[in-house]
Amino acid sequence: MANKRSIKNGIHVICESVFAECIAVALYGPEKHAKAAEDCANAVIKLEDHYLRRVSHPEPGMKPKAYYKDLRVQFTKEVNELLDHLSS
């Protein structure tokens, strides 16, 4: 298992990339997609904040390995949903 700092850095890098994609769609994409891209950018900011907090404060009673594995799976699922929403 990686340390918390590397997990947080990975979350930040992924969210930063998705945020940049949202801004690019808002600025350079069709006008009708600008509002959806801005909403996506706001969702990325909230997503990053939520998962960074979850890394810092694991749930009591769960084994750390299982907790961080579940966190990674949920984070990946939510990022993929945002990217699917952005591409449609």
Count how many domains the chain has. 1
Does the pTM exceed 0.75? Answer: yes
CB atoms within 10 A of CB 66: 10
Percent of the chain having pLDDT more than 70?
98
**What is the spatial distance between Cα 10 and Cα 24, in angstroms, rounded to a whole number?**
21
Give residue-wise pLDDT tens across range 54-81.
Answer: 998 888 888 888 898 999 999 999 999 9
Contact 64, 54 (CB under 8 A): no
Which pLDDT value is given to residue 57? 85
Amino acid at 35: K
Which pLDDT value is given to residue 10? 93
Give residue-wise pLDDT tens across range 12-41.
Answer: 999 999 999 999 888 888 888 888 888 899
Residues spanned by the domain of 31: 4-87
